[in-house]
């Protein structure tokens, strides 16, 4: 009996045959055909059908048969590494040949930074967006791309004083930065006994007329308390 091995629609390689003797088992061939992006993992009795025989399996039927390769798409490993500064464990995804893989989102953390993408090298430039598409048929290791956090400094719009930003300060402020400003009391107002300048409820100290918030790690809201109208009482008229 003739066992014919046919490459099928997608296989590369020439058709070959084996001769099977009546009532004698025949050891089938292994992976003799190739296909880009796929691995031959068995034999089927129809072109593109399901696996009927293993590679190097046993054929015992006393009849002629044509066998075709069973194809399994290759898979590629996408590894996510926290890199030098990230907190979190390394994880992996499996990417199938010619099937788009949706990358993971922000799975790592870093103090003062936000993960905003994926880089192909530790500390490198952003190559992929969070939850972006990965289409390459290659294994790859990805690292978090970091963007430093910035925090707003909210200035009050109170009455009786003017705030002037000092020393090139601006809002928002990058993580760990500082913000300096001065306060001038307007004409007709004075600093009362309970005058205080606060950032997020914490009293700031004045240094040569300038207030500075240092090591900023969150949004700051300034308040100015104790500015009062300068009420001038009339001078009493002497009694005659």
- pLDDT tens digit string along 149-194? 999 999 998 899 999 999 899 999 999 999 999 999 999 999 999 9
Convert 119-177 into a string of H (helix), E (strand) and C (coil). ECCCCCCEEECCCCEECCCCCEEEEEEEEECEECEECCCCCCEEEEEECCCCCCEECCC
Q: What is the pLDDT of residue 231?
A: 78
Distances (CA, A) of 79 to 119, 141, 147, 166, 205: 12, 5, 21, 47, 50
Q: What is the pLDDT of residue 129?
A: 98
Residues 83-96: b if buried by 16+ CB within 10 A, e if exposed: bebbebeeeebebe
| DSSP label of 114 | E
Q: What is the pLDDT of residue 234?
A: 64
* Residue 204 reports pLDDT greater than 80: yes
Q: Vertex 183, ends 212 and 199: CA angle to 5°?
A: 45
Distances (CA, A) of 176 to 148, 199, 201, 215: 10, 15, 19, 4
CA R_g for the chain: 38
Q: Is-contact 130 115, C-beta < 8 A?
A: yes
Distances (CA, A) of 132 to 26, 127, 145, 153: 50, 10, 13, 33
Q: Is-contact 179 220, C-beta < 8 A?
A: yes
pLDDT digits (tens, 9 = 90+) for 28-83: 999 999 999 999 999 999 999 999 999 999 999 999 999 999 999 999 999 999 99
At residue 238 the predicted structure's pLDDT band, cuts being 50, 70 and 90, is: confident
215: left (phi over 0), alpha (psi -120 to 50) or beta: left
pLDDT digits (tens, 9 = 90+) for 73-125: 999 999 999 999 999 999 999 999 999 999 999 999 999 999 999 999 999 99
DSSP symbols for 73-108: E-EEEEEE--TTT-BS--EEEEEETT--EEPP----
At residue 240 the predicted structure's pLDDT band, cuts being 50, 70 and 90, is: low
Q: What is the pLDDT of residue 94?
A: 98
List, in order, residues 6 or more apart from 178 with CB less than 8 Å away: 169, 212, 213, 214, 215, 216
Stated as kind and residue range, the H or E segment containing 194 is: strand 189-199
Q: What is the pLDDT of residue 233?
A: 61
Strands 91-96 and 75-80: antiparallel
Q: What is the pLDDT of residue 51?
A: 98
List, in order, residues 6 or more apart from 56 with CB less than 8 Å away: 27, 28, 29, 30
Residues β-bridged to residue 115: 146
């Amino acid at each position: 009996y003739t066992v014919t091995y046919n490459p099928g629609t997608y296989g590369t390689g020439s058709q070959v045959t084996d001769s099977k003797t009546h009532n004698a088992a025949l050891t089938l061939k292994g992976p003799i055909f190739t296909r880009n992006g796929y691995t031959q993992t068995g034999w089927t009795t129809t072109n593109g059908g399901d696996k009927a025989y293993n590679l190097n399996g046993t054929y015992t039927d006393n009849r002629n048969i044509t066998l075709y390769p069973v194809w399994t798409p290759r898979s590629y490993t996408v590894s996510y590494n926290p890199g030098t500064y990230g907190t979190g464990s390394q994880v992996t995804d499996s990417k199938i040949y010619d099937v788009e893989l949706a990358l993971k989102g922000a799975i790592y953390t870093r103090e003062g930074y936000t993960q905003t993408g994926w880089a192909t090298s530790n500390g490198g430039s952003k190559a992929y967006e969070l939850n972006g598409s990965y289409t390459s048929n290659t294994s790859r290791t990805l690292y978090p791309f970091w963007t430093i956090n910035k925090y707003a400094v909210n200035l009050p719009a109170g009455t009786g004083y003017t705030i002037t930003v000092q020393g090139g300060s601006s809002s928002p402020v990058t993580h760990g930065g500082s913000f300096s400003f001065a306060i001038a009391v307007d004409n007709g107002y004075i600093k009362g006994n309970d005058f205080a300048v606060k950032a997020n409820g914490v009293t700031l100290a004045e240094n040569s007329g300038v207030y500075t918030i240092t090591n900023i790690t969150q949004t700051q809201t300034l308040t100015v308390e104790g500015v009062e109208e300068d009420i001038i009482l009339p001078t009493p008229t002497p009694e005659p």
